[in-house]
Amino acid sequence: MGNLHGICGSAGLYTARNAAQSNPVGARALSDASNPSRHPLADLFLISFLILLFELAAIRWFASTVVFLTFFTNIVLLACFLGMSVGLLAARRPQNFVQTALPVAMLTFAAAIATHLLYWQWADQVTVALGNQQTSPRMIYFGTEYRPADPGRWVIPMWAIAGTFFTLIALTFVGLGQVMGRAFDAIPDRVVAYSVDILGSLAGITAFAAMSYFQLPPTAWFVPIVLLMLHFAGWRRPSQVAAAAAMLILVGIGAHGRIVHGQVSWSPYYKIAFDPRLRTISTNDIGHQSMVEIGKYGTAYLLPYLINRDAGGTAFEEVMIIGAGSGNDVAAALRAGARRIDAVEIDPGITELGRRWHPNQPYADARVSVHLDDGRSFARNTGGRYDLAVYALVDSLVLHSGYSSLRLENFLFSREAFEDVKRTLKPDGVFAMYNFYRQGWVVGRVAKMAQEVFGEKPLIISLPHQDRIQPDDSQRGHITFLLVSADSRRLQAVRARFEKGESFWALPEPPANEAINGFRTAAPGAGWDRAAPAQIDLDRINLLPSDDWPQLYLRNREIPWSPIGQGMLTVAVLSLAILLAFAPERRLRPNWQMFFLGAGFMLLETKGVVHMALLFGGTWVVNSVVFFAILVMILCANLYVLAANPRKLTPCYALLVAALLLNAFVPMNVFLSFPPVARVAGSCLIVFVPVFFAGVIFASTFRESRRPGVDLGSNIAGIILGGLSEQLSLVLGFNNLLLLAAGYYLLSLALRPRGPPTPA
């Protein structure tokens, strides 16, 4: 999720447009007398509402429909920013670009459906390239590794898909941005204009948050969007009505997805397809979970409990399960005799499916408390103490916002996160993690973090059994269990059995395992699978995730050329082409001050979103509140400029850079130990104060512009630079992004125009 107006510093854009009303040259440069807005206040509110609602809806819909775009929602976000801003730049042009918005949108949605059909109907012939996911990827994207890039297959690079939709989405938003620019030009009162714009933006955020809360489908999101686009493009034009109808039909097709049998629902995070015959769940068209009747086939889920029991350990009576999903792990804990279970799941849609359809009905058991929360947030704030804490197949398959490359579970896999889990354990408690980790170096990272935090080597068990796991080994087809504790008699007893030369033997059917002691030197019979410790050389694992660099699935501190580097280059080239195509002047001297203001603010906003996700959880509610707060802070900055009319901006630059440096050098997790009120106050202060100073600088600078089109175009280019620079967090970490932002702001100060303003 994002907000369109925060990105430039932002509301200063609108203050400046109205400042041009008192500047005849600037006014002539911005206004378009041939297309005046007859109801500018109403138009401004509606177009602000429409643009923000459309942006949020587009991020979710395209991520769920266009294959693997779910991992690159920043592409959609930047496209929306670029298109809206280019439309503002074209406000004085005589062409009404808004009349192209619906036809281009229809074409874009049709292309999404075509891509969807191409990928799934020709599954045996088409592979989307995401950096050699099948063998040795530099960055892992779960669910994308099942189609090899074999000779004879048609391999489509991800950058080509992303570039196509970046262009189409940006062109869709150009006409809407033009309507906004014209509405602003028609309002003489700057405070009224800005207030109406902010109200429209806040209404857009609120509307989409409400739709997410009630889990409404995309057709409900897009009905008001299409109606407002028709309002601005013209109801009486049959071509517009036809395009609107076709767009809604395409939205509905994409909303249903590829499922043949079953049902589709929309949680705040995913398009969830559920097949009740197989009890399988797909999210955004990627296979995600299946409900298992634990009494028949659930030995893997019971493995930690069975190993502990057969080694003579006391039962795990109090259990915390992070990533409870549809209930398999909860059902296993209940079958193993747990007396109290805290089941933590971030997605209410998946939880509800588990309530209704899981064959064991674990969520109906009185021993289970369901917590719809971010797992890291729950582990940090719970007052419970547990015999067993479980990371249960934690892999979200979705990003926590459109502003960063973080997945929902990234902050669960850091040294600081493991310390949070350690604090929840009783003295004899055990921490269990299991997943299909894909690569040996991922297993090694998790194991080494656990060893450093708990002071003991974890017990690593891979099924099917492996004697040794090397960092370069593919783990495809292997589920790996890691059990660790600081000083657990339970785990010591398990180690003792393995050290005696015994293995643990298991069948897929739990009753057979429950009837015998699985520890023995030889299999009890035919068909039994061996579970025994796997060795891994942790000395070869040097780079570990932290809260500042929470990149479990990125092998090195680098920007992988495929697909991220290729995508960055594609977006940069396409942005330049679109800007040149719509620029009002052909020979431009960029305003480098405005360019670097845009770049700095994008990084500042990205860091704010990530910071708040760490402190309060990566839920959609937290994201909505953060963007809402950023808009309010920008409003305060603009009102300050209108009231105080600051002339000297050097003090503001100094305070902004000082705030950024403080933000960069104070670790994000330092606030986690604060009491709740102090944590909220301190984190908001450190995140939102720089936003205020950035807004003051932008508004004060832009209101003096004599070349508003050129200056705005320069700022747009800076926005794209800032968006692309976010990927540097893969190398630098998130705190150091603020050093880069401070550098951009210092360049803005150093390169500010000297002398009198250049006439338009």
Query: Which three-class secondary structure string do you get for 312-359?
Result: CCCCCCEEEEECCCCCHHHHHHHHCCCCEEEEEECCHHHHHHHHHHCC
Kindly indicate the confidence band of residue 190, based on its pLDDT and cuts at 50, 70 and 90: low
Here the tokens at position 71 are 């991992």
Sketch the domain layout of the chain as residue ranges: 1-30+589-760, 32-185+216-266, 280-395+414-540
Kindly indicate the confidence band of residue 402, based on its pLDDT and cuts at 50, 70 and 90: low
Mean per-residue pLDDT, 703-720: 73
Quick one: pLDDT at residue 30?
36
Provide the β-strand partners of residue 281.
274, 289
Higher pLDDT pick, 81 / 226: 226
| Terminal-residue alpha carbon distance, the chain | 36
Mean per-residue pLDDT, 475-489: 93
Can you state the angle between helices 676-702 and 708-725, rounded to 10 degrees?
150
Which residue, chain included where needed, has tokens 């390169």? 751
Mean per-residue pLDDT, 49-72: 91
Here the tokens at position 737 are 């992004």
Quick one: pLDDT at residue 200?
92
**What is residue 50's DSSP assignment?**
H
Number of residues that this document lists for the chain: 760
Whole-model pTM? 0.89
What are 579-603's pLDDT values in tens digits? 888 866 555 577 899 899 999 998 9
Kindly indicate the confidence band of residue 511, based on its pLDDT and cuts at 50, 70 and 90: very high
Quick one: pLDDT at residue 37?
58
| Nearest C-alpha neighbor of 137 from the set 164, 115, 158, 163 | 158
How far does Cα 113 stand from its chain's mean position? 23
Higher pLDDT pick, 235 / 515: 515
**Phi, psi of 387, rounded to the nearest 5 degrees:** -75, -30
Can you state the angle between helices 592-616 and 734-750, rounded to 10 degrees?
160
Which residue, chain included where needed, has tokens 């034009």? 237
Kindly indicate the confidence band of residue 15, based on its pLDDT and cuts at 50, 70 and 90: very low
Mean per-residue pLDDT, 346-372: 97
| Nearest C-alpha neighbor of 407 from the set 393, 417, 394 | 394
Quick one: pLDDT at residue 311?
96
Quick one: pLDDT at residue 587?
58
Quick one: pLDDT at residue 719?
84
Contacts of 485 (CB under 8 A, 6+ apart): 425, 428, 429, 430, 431, 454, 456, 491
| Nearest C-alpha neighbor of 296 from the set 513, 58, 67, 591 | 513
Quick one: pLDDT at residue 133?
79
Question: Which region among 223-227, 398-402, 488-492 has the lowest average model confidence (pLDDT)?
Answer: 398-402
Kindly indicate the confidence band of residue 248, based on its pLDDT and cuts at 50, 70 and 90: very high
Mean per-residue pLDDT, 423-431: 96
**Phi, psi of 557, rounded to the nearest 5 degrees:** -75, 90
Higher pLDDT pick, 402 / 515: 515
How far does Cα 688 stand from its chain's mean position? 20
Quick one: pLDDT at residue 756?
52
The answer for 28, left when phi > 0, alpha when psi is -120 to 50, beta otherwise, is alpha
Q: Are 642 and 15 in contact (CB under 8 A)?
A: yes
Here the tokens at position 687 are 């995140």
Quick one: pLDDT at residue 349?
95
What's the CATH fold of domain 280-395+414-540?
Rossmann fold (3.40.50)
Mean per-residue pLDDT, 357-361: 97
Quick one: pLDDT at residue 275?
93
Element (H, E) at 387: strand 386-392
Question: What's the order of all strands across the beta sheet hosting 280-283?
Answer: 263-266, 271-275, 280-283, 286-290
1-30+589-760 and 280-395+414-540 share one CATH topology?
A: no
| Nearest C-alpha neighbor of 12 from the set 711, 748, 745, 718 | 711
pLDDT at residue 5 greater than cutoff 70: no
Mean per-residue pLDDT, 727-737: 92
Q: How many CB atoms are located within 10 Å of the residue 364 CB?
A: 11
What are 107-157's pLDDT values in tens digits? 999 999 999 988 888 888 888 888 777 777 889 888 787 777 777 788 889
Angle at 751 between CA 745 and CA 756, to 5 degrees: 125
Kindly indicate the confidence band of residue 280, based on its pLDDT and cuts at 50, 70 and 90: very high
The residue type at 320: M
Mean pLDDT, the chain, rounded, equals 86
pLDDT at residue 568 greater than cutoff 80: yes
State the DSSP string of 687-728: HHHHHHHHHHHHHHHHTT-S-HHHHHHHHHHHHHHHHHHGGG
Quick one: pLDDT at residue 376?
92
pLDDT over 70, % of the chain: 90
Q: Are 136 and 474 in contact (CB under 8 A)?
A: yes
Contacts of 20 (CB under 8 A, 6+ apart): 26, 27, 29, 30, 185, 705, 708
Tell me the CATH architecture of domain 1-30+589-760. Answer: Up-down Bundle (1.20)
Element (H, E) at 659: helix 650-665
